[in-house]
Structure 1
């Protein structure tokens, strides 16, 4: 029996020792002021009192110091309302002033082609392009001349016969005019005169047909396509070539309603009186080449598909430029607009992804308002000022985590 009791006693003693060690380590939280185990907590309480007193002395200033220390630094630009000339940008394709499918007006076999009648060549107005065989047409002219001569002879004979008929009527002693105009051969004379007139027109047509066997350029043109070869036969109406005029190219630029509001109010009558009064700068898609043009007219209708109205820009002598502006070139147009008063100029980065302007108010707090963009130019966005403000500190690069009312520290950048 004594051997069985010993292990139990050892376990009880071990538990008692462990409990005492815990008490010594952490102290007795329930000890009174006079107990020795409670002495360390008394010392800790005395040490903490000065810290509490310091916090009390700091008073209301402590939260403000903490807010200032945690305020986010933001870069801002100081802007004020000024006057700027608007610039409107649009896009369009250069097209020739005239572009025609040139057709033959008479039939015939191609006798010869001009040496410069090749795709890519430029020709002047009146230059011969194609010559057709014309024997049949020369014969038609000769026949028309013969018919006209015979008609004129017949007319002379009829005029003489009519004079004789009138003299005979006068010698007859009858008074007044004859009952029928046939007596004086008036209808026969009118018919002879009509035959002469018809013969003249026939000769004129025959001569025109003969002239049309020589096909010439209708204007100064670029040969875009040639559809005939030497020896080929063409019918009247056959397309023999595609021609582009070289005097100028035109670019139709569709613009929105807001873009039109930034342009001067000029009518087509005003534009017709003086060229180049409304300048436009054109650049290619790569931005390497540029051309100077002018607004030649404004369209007076809205496109039913795009719901936009277009402005037409012209460039004179496009093929003679240092770098030619060829039909089919896609260009960007920078159109000089009217002067906009009381406008802010902001870096493009100042407009957030959602289209807002963030600015710092007089209390160093963030505010935002939707941007009313008027136009853009060279990385600068021109906007209408915020209502009630003529100047402001606008955040240069707003972040997505900004919150209205956030306390910030503004740093002005140039």
Structure 2
């Protein structure tokens, strides 16, 4: 009985607490102030913008390519024989100077030919002198004969054989032949020394002392060190920005546009000054690009500041000084929209669509002409489309 009384009392207490809690909550809700009603803000999109920079000076034309020699030849002897000496510089990576002997071929056989040719020439000269004397005697005898006959016949009426003119011409021709043979023998003797035609580096060699070589057999390869070339493939639009490209005379340094060649070596970046030497007169059949040749003088000379040489085969970046038109501006490349349009934003956040003519697209910026002024805001992101007169928010609005 007592247990039932205790259970009933606890139940009434729990019910009382719940009712009291609900009543207090209802009272607090009824006493709370009503929230102020606000109109939702207008749905104006936020656009990322950047300012237009006025253009000045030459428009850079960017490209890349590989370094190649300005001149490269195979080294081959013009006469055959056994190699008796090889220059220590004539090995892969060696540097040689103009006229330096690379290797020598045994001279004995060619020296004998020179002696033989000298002896033959001496004999033919004697024979020519003898024939001259005999021709002179023949002419005197004929004139004496003509005087005795009293006919007064001129020597011009005499037979050439009588005056020994053909014999004299044959003796003179034999002398000239032997002189030519002597020159040929001396030339062959001089060619036993194979020399470098220009200052350069040895790319490869395959000759040793004791080796027998034949005329025209390649035994090495040299490339010139006075200059290198970089073949830069460009689109026709980029090539059109290079001033006077098609009027350039190859090798004329004064006419080509200036160029800067940049190469990476380890953690460092190094620059060489060059110029546009010429443009290829045909398109690449696969890439449909125009190969522009940039020439870099003295790529292997040391500047004393630790700069490495511009190695053949190195992949480099090239910047060419292009045309310098008036009235162009520089914009972020992200601001250039499809159809060569730019979305300009005025101070009130109103968008206007401005058509532009693209002069050049660089890595992060574009060079254009059109109705854009320096300092004007253009959209670079944040919205996918725009219409004439639409409103956008910019960072300047957010900072207000």
TM-score by length of 1: 0.75
Once residues 122 and 377 of structure 2 are traced to their aligned partners in structure 1, the CA distance between those partners, rounded to angstroms, is 95
Report if the CA contact (8 A) 1:352-1:398 is conserved. Answer: no
Once residues 270 and 412 of structure 1 are traced to their aligned partners in structure 2, the CA distance between those partners, rounded to angstroms, is 54
Once residues 338 and 283 of structure 2 are traced to their aligned partners in structure 1, the CA distance between those partners, rounded to angstroms, is 31
Consecutive unaligned residues of structure 2, counting only runs of 5 or more, are 1-36
Question: Is 1:328 paired with 2:306?
Answer: no
State which of 368, 373, 397 in structure 2 corresponds to 1:383: 368
Residue aligning to 2:332: 347
Report if the CA contact (8 A) 1:281-1:290 is conserved. Answer: no
Root-mean-square deviation over aligned CA pairs: 3.1
Residue aligning to 1:317: 298
Once residues 137 and 53 of structure 2 are traced to their aligned partners in structure 1, the CA distance between those partners, rounded to angstroms, is 103
State which of 198, 201, 208 in structure 2 corresponds to 1:222: 201
Once residues 283 and 259 of structure 2 are traced to their aligned partners in structure 1, the CA distance between those partners, rounded to angstroms, is 22
Whose radius of gyration is greater, 1 or 2? 1
Once residues 53 and 101 of structure 2 are traced to their aligned partners in structure 1, the CA distance between those partners, rounded to angstroms, is 66
Once residues 127 and 230 of structure 1 are traced to their aligned partners in structure 2, the CA distance between those partners, rounded to angstroms, is 18
Report if the CA contact (8 A) 2:201-2:222 is conserved. Answer: yes
Residue aligning to 1:139: 112
* Superposition deviation, residue 325 in structure 1: 0.6
State which of 100, 115, 120 in structure 2 corresponds to 1:127: 100
Range that drifts further, 300-309 or 204-213? 300-309
* Superposition deviation, residue 399 in structure 1: 3.9
Offset from partner CA, 1:28-81 (integer Å, 9 cap, x none):
xxxxxxxxxxxxxxxxxxxxxxxxxxx9xxxxxx9xx65x53322323234365
Residue aligning to 2:257: 278
Q: How does 1:171-250 map to 2 (within 5 A)?
A: 171-173=144-146, 174=149, 175-177=153-155, 178-250=157-229
Q: Secondary structure at the match of 2:198?
A: coil
Q: How does 1:4-403 map to 2 (within 5 A)?
A: 66=40, 68-79=41-52, 82-173=55-146, 174=149, 175-177=153-155, 178-265=157-244, 267-268=247-248, 272=252, 274=254, 278-284=257-263, 288-299=268-279, 301-305=281-285, 306-321=287-302, 322-351=307-336, 357-360=342-345, 364-366=349-351, 368=353, 372-377=357-362, 379-385=364-370, 388-390=371-373, 392-400=376-384, 402-403=385-386
TM-score by length of 2: 0.77
Report if the CA contact (8 A) 2:76-2:217 is conserved. Answer: yes
Residue aligning to 2:387: 404
* Superposition deviation, residue 271 in structure 1: 8.0
Once residues 55 and 274 of structure 2 are traced to their aligned partners in structure 1, the CA distance between those partners, rounded to angstroms, is 27
Q: Secondary structure at the match of 2:189?
A: helix
Once residues 122 and 108 of structure 1 are traced to their aligned partners in structure 2, the CA distance between those partners, rounded to angstroms, is 25
Report if the CA contact (8 A) 1:109-1:132 is conserved. Answer: yes
Range that drifts further, 79-88 or 247-256? 79-88
- Aligned pair count reads 348
Report if the CA contact (8 A) 2:100-2:195 is conserved. Answer: yes
Q: Secondary structure at the match of 1:272?
A: coil
Once residues 101 and 300 of structure 1 are traced to their aligned partners in structure 2, the CA distance between those partners, rounded to angstroms, is 24
Report if the CA contact (8 A) 1:86-1:338 is conserved. Answer: yes
Greater helix content? 1
Consecutive unaligned residues of structure 1, counting only runs of 5 or more, are 1-54, 56-61
